Homo-oligomer: A and B are copies of this chain.
Amino acid sequence: MMKKPVNIAITGAAGQISYALLFRVAAGDLLGADQPVILHLLEVPEAMHALKGVVMELEDAAFPLLADIEVTDDAETAFRDADIVFLVGAKPRSAGMERRDLLQDNAHIFSRQGQALNAVARHDVRVLVIGNPANTNALIVQRNAPSLPPESFSAMSRLDHNRAVSQLAAHFDCGVADISHMTVWGNHSSTQFPDIHQLRIAGQPLVQPLDTVWYLRTFIPAVQQRGGEVLAARGKSSAASAAHAALCHMRDWVLGTPEHDWVSMSVISDGSYGVTPGLVFSFPVRCRQGRFEIVRGIELNDFSLDRIRLSEQELLAERDMVAHLLPH
């Protein structure tokens, strides 16, 4: 007996990140090899022709789990009955464009998508914002969807988290699976704070004192600036690694985080660690039975608190810039 298909909506469906994401979702990499899916693909009218080619390729893969594909340029049509929503599409930053202008352009897209979710989404929908600036876009979506629980919304800090884990495994000469209790705090931007004060390797806390020169001058900048490094080498933004992080984020949210570990997710602040309530902020979270919970009781030193405040200030400034699109 086949399970009932899960409805998965993806925006910016003809773009590079979606191209890496769609085939893995259809192959069962998100929800497992026994869970059929229906893909709801949203694109702007100009990209419909290219999206048709992507749909042909999805058909040509003959995925047994892919029960149906719906294509639309209307957000309400895409989000109706969706269980899971990946908001991938965003206007990219063009040469010479200020972050402020990027924020404004995307704010309009995401406020409309929030309204569409508010009108038609399932009450238990899970939304992940990947399009940048992801945290503030997620805030806009959430505030424009007041009939849905605030815990329905998240933004992606998992790519930063995964990048940090990979760098740590190389530094400590261990496998990535040996690294646990890594946290990325704050905004998915250059103010993000990759925190390794709770780090464990193969379940054990670090015994040697932290090499602060390496930590401050090598590790933190390497994680913060990794996106730019990839762009410089590939000539294109991270796509397959971003899609993989999106799968990790959503899979952990739906199916649960590993025992004895946590992951980094940007979610609505409840005031934990002094972060302004309502901001979409990256915290350490554990997920059980389809719900996330911010990990409590981590002791933060002054350095860490400073870094967290810095990223919070940036998010407050971004919030102010889009205040006209944030209904109460």
Contact = CB atoms under 8 A, between A and B. Distances in A.
A209 interface: no
B29 A62 contact: no
B29 A230 contact: no
A256 to B, nearest CB: 16
A265 B23 CA distance: 22
Nearest to A29: B27
A117 B244 CA distance: 32
Interface string A165-186: 1100110000111000000000
Dominant secondary structure at the A interface? helix
A91 interface: no
B230 A53 contact: yes
A169 B23 CA distance: 19
Contacts of A234: 50, 53-54, 56-57
B62 A230 contact: no
Contacts of A243: 23
Contacts of A241: 23, 57-58, 60-61
Interface of A: 19-20, 22-24, 27, 29, 49-50, 52-54, 56-64, 159, 162-163, 165-166, 169-170, 175-177, 226, 229-236, 238-241, 243-245
